[in-house]
Structure 1
Amino acid sequence: MGTDILIYLGGLALLDTLSPTIIGVTLFLILTDKKNLTSRLFAYLFTVALLYFSLGIIMMLGLNFIIETFSNIFQNKIVSWVIFIVGVILFTASFFIPANKQSNIPKPKTQSIFSIIIIGITTFMIEAGMALPYFAAIGLLTTTNMPFYQWLPIIAVYNIIMVLPALLLFLGYKLFGKWINPTLVNLRNKISSSSSSTLSWIMCIVGVILIFYTKDYL
């Protein structure tokens, strides 16, 4: 696998760190549940990362099977054209995302770990259908024809990067405590009111990445 695709995958992973739901839930827990924060936050992040990791494996196996089965029909050039067209569609559609100031961030109803796990599953269900950087990364990985033992750790690292901002927020709170509380409150308010704007930017950047990745293979 070349350096160029690693750069694209790294860029897509960084885009996935902008997840308003994961960051929003993390901020909610930090600001409202200081007693059981560590156990509940790590249970939440582990649930989300595990579900995304499982989805990545399923998608990789499924896409690889399809490509191998229809290798004589879907040649690399046709696959590149499909990825290119998807990139153009995402880039164009990003300019037509309607503004939505209503918060879609789920909140746990009880203090139990089970409630947090349910929130993790809810986060996955909310964002899995819009995880455009993740889908794009899986699509790019399938074009490299890497064996299982090579792409599996890449997906694992990708998911660790995805939840890294939440871990950094947690670390920052543990180190600086009440000093950064006002900043965290302001950040939570901004995230709650700008999820549609974030989605628009993500769609735009993912579209550009897909276009630039495939333009040399058309």
Structure 2
Amino acid sequence: MTLGLVAALAGLALLDSTSIGTLFIPIWLMLTPGRLKLGRFGVYLGTITVFYFGVGVLIVLGASQVIGHLDSRIALWVQLVIGVFLFAISFRFDSKKQTNTGKWQQRINANGSVAALAGIAVLAGVVELATMLPYLGAIGMMSAADLSAPQIGLLLAGYCLVMIVPAVVLLGGRLALRAKIEPLLSRISTWFAEKGAGMTGWILGIAGFLVARDAIARLFLM
């Protein structure tokens, strides 16, 4: 496990932290009328974190079976192809297209129970499976590296925790400076509704660059 790998994974995790499930639904929870209930917030973030970790473990097990039968250089070439693919498809996301966020806000406002929030977290995770490409890139990097199972498990857990750091930081600000931070949260929510598709493109482009750069460094520079 190298410092460069850890840094690249942390960067990908921060990119993943800007998804609907890990940032914008938590923001909408903070903006829900009435007193903020930390228990509900914790249930939501805890559920989506465990969901992502569980999915990551399942994907790693499958990837390890495949990569275990490949030469290490071939595995790195596969990682490079994944990175280039992520970068290439990032240009297909229209920055002028608005993201449909109304249905998520309606679900949050209509469902206040703990079970309902946990269900929303799982639903958000399932919906995002098709677009969790930075996470898949990170898993590819872990699988291609010479890591033990405990090391991969630790990195996966750390990745999932980093994904919720921005939401937790905003929650701290919401609790400490409610009147001052609520306008900021509202602006972030509005901005995402207007620019979400373009932001997804940027996330995929940066993720592709990080994944491809790691493969190139290990193929040609080490």
Partner of 2:163: 162
CA offset digits 1:79-119 (Å, max 9, x no partner): 22222122222212211213431324623222111111111
Q: How does 1:50-61 map to 2 (within 5 A)?
A: 50-61=50-61
Q: Residue 102 and residue 211 in structure 1: after superposition, are their counterparts in 2 closer, same or farther (change >3 A)?
A: closer
- Any conservation in 1 of the 2:22–2:167 contact (CA below 8 Å)? yes
Whether the 8 Å CA contact 2:40–2:114 is kept in 1: the answer is yes
- In 2, the alpha carbon distance for the partners of 1:53 and 1:185 equals 29
Instruction: Give 1:151 shift.
Output: 1.6
**One-letter amino acid of the counterpart of residue 100, structure 1:** K
- The aligned residue for residue 211 of structure 1 is 212
Question: TM-score under structure 1 normalisation?
Answer: 0.91
Report the Cα distance in structure 2 between the residues aligned to 1:34 and 1:76, rounded to whole angstroms: 55
TM-score (norm 2): 0.89
The aligned length equals 214
Report deviation, 1:130. 0.9
Match of 2:2 in 1: 2
The Cα RMSD (Å) is: 1.7
Larger mean Cα displacement after TM superposition, 14-23 or 140-149: 14-23
CA offset digits 1:120-166 (Å, max 9, x no partner): 01110121221122111111111123222222121111111101111
Structure 1: 5+ residue stretches without partners: none
Change (3 A) 1:33 1:121: farther
Question: Is 1:96–2:87 an aligned residue pair?
Answer: no
Q: Find the counterpart in structure 2 of residue 111 from structure 1.
A: 112
Equivalent residue runs for 1:133-148 within 5 Å: 133-148=134-149
State the percentage of identical aligned residues: 26
Provide the residue aligned with 2:20 in structure 1: 20
Question: Aligned letter for 2:130?
Answer: G
**CA-CA distance at 1:36 after TM superposition:** 5.0
Any conservation in 2 of the 1:16–1:134 contact (CA below 8 Å)? yes
Preserved contact between residue 44 and residue 117 of structure 1 (Cα < 8 Å): yes
Query: How far apart, CA to CA, are the structure 1 residues paired with 2:27 and 2:211?
Result: 32
- Name the amino acid aligned to 1:20: I
Q: What does 1:10-49 correspond to in 2, within 5 Å?
A: 10-49=10-49
Q: CA deviation at 1:66?
A: 2.2
Question: In terms of mean alpha carbon deviation, does 34-43 or 183-192 score higher?
Answer: 34-43
Q: Secondary structure at the match of 1:194?
A: helix
Contact 2:63–2:143 (CA under 8 A) maintained in structure 1: yes
